[in-house]
Amino acid sequence: DIVLTQSPPLAVSLEQRATISCKTSQNVDNYGISYMHWYQQKPGQQPKLLIYEGSNLASGIPARFSGSGSGTDFTLTIDPVEADDIATYYCQQNKDYPYTFGPGTKLELK
Amino acid sequence: QVQLQQSGTELVKPASSVKISCKASGYTFTSNYMHWIRQQPGNGLEWIGWIYPGNGNTKYNQKFDGKATLTADKSSSTAYMQLSSLTSEDSAVYFCARSLRRVEDWFAYWGQGTLVTVSS
């Protein structure tokens, strides 16, 4: 299985930048596409897609969210952080079966 | 718009089975892959498998082989997941999620989740 490792819980101040990393145990790129996606989950809610294929902003997601990276190293950036962004963020790969998620990174306010 | 409406909370006894549903609307049910994902209390997300309602084809995470069975009813645009031989380890929230078009696409749409609690 491809194992995803995320950065630890992060405390940030409003209007600052938050950077969350996701490292994979195997390359999740194929023919120039990164099969890496990011989701936001708030307590009691379903996950919501933020970024697909490494760097593409999902429909309706504010431009303060961005994704970057390739291969085995990926980053989700929120700049600037707003109060509504307090949540847990998950990366997920679907290059190979079984599809796997990272353990999540909880974003908190400093 | 695409909506996935899941069935309600289940309280079930150990060693029993449960079948939860995910009713789809706003798109062609038979033309898109439906995935199921588990989230145990306080834990992260695990992919269980997918079903293609158009032909009933399925793919499972080996971890859930024998535990989960995915089916779909085209007439009611509803996907089902049956969980068998339940233990406390199966207590979790279960989500259905639709990938955008291809099976390897991201999970673009999610149901609200179904809480299953296994307790005597």
**Residue range B4-62, pLDDT digits in tens:** 999 999 999 999 999 999 999 999 999 999 999 999 988 889 999 999 999 999 999 99
Residue type for position B51: I
For residue B91, what pLDDT is reported? 98
* A60-80 confidence digits (pLDDT tens): 999 999 999 999 999 999 999
- Residues 6 or more apart whose Cβ sits within 8 Å of residue A101: A4, A90, A91, A92, B44, B45, B46, B47
- B110: nearest CB among A37, A46, A102: A46
Contact status, residue A55 vs residue A101, Cβ threshold 8 Å: no
Amino acid making up residue B72: A
Is A94 close to B63, i.e. CB distance below 8 A?
Answer: no
pLDDT at B103 over 90: no
Collapsing DSSP states into helix, strand and coil, what is residue A18? Answer: strand
Q: What angle do CA A92, A93, A99 make, to 5 degrees?
A: 95
Residues of B in contact with A99 (CB under 8 A): 35, 47, 61
Cβ-defined contact of B45 to A48 (cutoff 8 Å)? no
Whether A89 has its CB under 8 Å from any CB of chain B: the answer is no
Across residues B83-94, what is the average pLDDT?
97
